[in-house]
Amino acid sequence: MPKGSSTSRKRMKGISAQTASGCRQARSDNDPHSRPHIGPSPLEHSATASSAALRVHPACGRAPAHRVSRGLTLLETMIAMIIGLIITAAVAQVYATSRATYQLTAGLSRVQENGRFGMEFLTRDVRMAGYSGCLSKATAVTNHLNNPTDYATDLVLGQHVSAHAYTGSAPSAAISDWTPALPAAYFTTGDVVPNTDVLVVRRASDQSEQVLPPYMPTPSAALHLETGNGLQVNDIVIVADCRSADMFQITGPTDPDSTGTLNHNIGAVSQGPGNASQDLSKTYDSDAEILKLVTRVYHIGRRNNDPNNPPALFRKELDGGVLVTQELVEGVENIQLYIGDDTDNDGIANIYRTADQIANWATVATVRIGLLVRTPDKAERDVDTKTYVVAGTLIGPMGDRYQRRVFTSTVDLRN
């Protein structure tokens, strides 16, 4: 055997012996019971032993301590993020669906409410059309106004209900696009939405005031009634008993509500038609009552005639001798009228016609009213592709995102 190999083996044995001795010494040094407590205090010895234990040679047979893993790995973080995104998307979907359902439900509730209100306004007035106190027929009223056949005050010719049908070509909204044409004195181009009808109702108010003494000594004398009657100068009123009636405009005194006195003089007035005659057809006493003339014109329009504003049901109402316009119900998009004509004078409608086909409004027995009402806001998803039948007229499809409902009522004329 070569001499070099023998020398190497001896050297390795020496190193192994030293290592083993060092390991025994380290264990001995770390064991507090293997030697007397000489030198450092027990606390210092503990610190020294801990340091020595950390410096034990790997050859002593002790494996190094494993490091403790803290926090999340990148893969775990990415998985958590994906799960979070899925949950967030699900919550967002539920919220969006709930929001859309709520908007649809709330919108349709508004449609129901607006349709009911609009129909109530219309049906009540149509039902009361031609009312003139205890008179059975309004044709018995003697009209003392200038221009007695005026659109706003014509209660003489039996036109208690009348209507205008749209016969033009949309989007034109000129007053001549309706049949009969809308009167220029009360309408301008754009007041009424194209493809919609116009309804006119004339009657006396259902609230009356009793005539009080001193009674009229002559047909030109003033009438007297209770104070707090709510009447004012320029109001057009009807005085009636169960035999006859007279219509005139109040000309004084300054405050009929507080004085209880009604003058009906001729001459200039601040607004309205004025009186053509001061003398009534007769004198009236305790069996007579005073009723205010009611003329109401219903139509579909937009606030300030602005096409960007939503459609609404409007009403022009006689007030102080002139027609004053007010918005009633927003969202009413269309009104269509189907008129029941009594052709054999038995009080029952024999045939239904559109307003432009009625030759004599005095023979009208019923009015069928159709309203198309839409939601205030657009739906998020659904497009309206429906065709609606509104009092016999086909309307649509609209192709927008509003939701709509049709309301229909047929009203008999009582007077």
Task: Give the Cα separation of 299 and 132 in Å (integer).
Answer: 24
Q: What percent of the chain has pLDDT over 90?
A: 60
Q: Quote the pLDDT of residue 131.
A: 86
Q: Name which of 150, 211, 217, 210 is nearest 186 in CA terms.
A: 150
Mean pLDDT for 174-182 is 95
DSSP letters along 201-233, please?
Answer: EEEEEEEEEE--SSPPSSTTSPEE--S-----T
pLDDT reading at 33 higher than 90: no
Which residue is listed with tokens 């300030």? 304
Burial class from Cβ neighbours inside 10 Å (0-12, 13-18, 19+) for residue 310 reads middle
pLDDT reading at 105 higher than 60: yes
DSSP letters along 333-374, please?
Answer: EEEEEEEEE-SSSSSS--EEE-GGG-S-GGGEEEEEEEEEEE
Q: Quote the pLDDT of residue 94.
A: 83
Mean pLDDT for 23-43 is 48
Strand order in the sheet with 404-412: 351-353, 332-341, 364-374, 404-412
Q: Quote the pLDDT of residue 256.
A: 93
Categorize the per-residue pLDDT at 21 as very low, low, confident or very high, splitting at 50, 70 and 90. low
Q: Quote the pLDDT of residue 138.
A: 57
Residue 304 φ/ψ region, left for φ over 0, alpha for ψ in the -120 to 50 degree band, beta for the rest: left
Q: Quote the pLDDT of residue 352.
A: 96
Q: Quote the pLDDT of residue 60.
A: 52
Q: Quote the pLDDT of residue 150.
A: 86
Output b/e per residue, 270-292; b: 16+ Cβ within 10 A.
eebbbbebbebeeebeeebbbbb
Categorize the per-residue pLDDT at 186 as very low, low, confident or very high, splitting at 50, 70 and 90. very high
Contact 361, 329 (CB under 8 A): no
Peptide bond preceding 171 in cis form (omega within 30 of 0): yes
**Residues 203-259 pLDDT 10s:** 989 899 999 999 999 999 999 999 999 999 999 999 999 888 999 999 999 899 999
DSSP letters along 63-96, please?
Answer: PPPPPPP-S--HHHHHHHHHHHHHHHHHHHHHHH
Residue 158 φ/ψ region, left for φ over 0, alpha for ψ in the -120 to 50 degree band, beta for the rest: left
φ/ψ of residue 315, rounded to 5: -140, 125
Q: Quote the pLDDT of residue 42.
A: 47
Mean pLDDT for 284-291 is 95
Cα 409 to chain centroid, rounded: 21
**Residues 314-340 pLDDT 10s:** 999 999 889 999 999 999 999 999 999
Task: Give the Cα separation of 37 and 388 in Å (integer).
Answer: 107
pLDDT reading at 50 higher than 50: no
Categorize the per-residue pLDDT at 46 as very low, low, confident or very high, splitting at 50, 70 and 90. very low
Look at 56-65, 195-204, 255-264 and tell me which has the smallest mean pLDDT. 56-65
pLDDT reading at 124 higher than 90: yes
- The token pair that represents 385 in the structure block: 């592709």
Q: Quote the pLDDT of residue 156.
A: 56
Q: Mean pLDDT score of the chain, rounded to an integer?
A: 84
Q: Name which of 319, 337, 310 is nearest 233 in CA terms.
A: 319
Contact 299, 177 (CB under 8 A): no
Mean pLDDT for 146-172 is 84
Question: In one letter, which amino acid is 96?
Answer: A
Handedness of CA 27, 32, 35, 38 (dihedral sign): positive
Global confidence as pTM? 0.76
As a residue count, the chain comes to 415
Q: Quote the pLDDT of residue 56.
A: 47
Q: Quote the pLDDT of residue 45.
A: 46
Q: Which helix (H) or strand (E) holds 300?
A: strand 289-302
pLDDT reading at 284 higher than 90: yes
Task: Give the Cα separation of 84 and 90 in Å (integer).
Answer: 10
Q: Quote the pLDDT of residue 38.
A: 44
Question: In one letter, which amino acid is 390?
Answer: V
Look at 9-23, 149-163, 382-396 and tell me which has the smallest mean pLDDT. 9-23
Q: Name which of 298, 331, 292, 334 is nearest 186 in CA terms.
A: 298
Categorize the per-residue pLDDT at 51 as very low, low, confident or very high, splitting at 50, 70 and 90. very low
Mean pLDDT for 367-381 is 91
3-state per-residue secondary structure call for 146-202: CCCCCCCCCCCCCCCEEEEEECCCCCCCCHHHEECCCCCCCCCCCCCCCCCCEEEEE
Q: Name which of 108, 105, 102, 106 is nearest 374 in CA terms.
A: 108
Label the pairing between strands 141-143 and 245-249.
parallel
Q: Name which of 403, 169, 163 is nearest 296 in CA terms.
A: 163
Q: Quote the pLDDT of residue 67.
A: 60
Task: Give the Cα separation of 219 and 210 in Å (integer).
Answer: 17
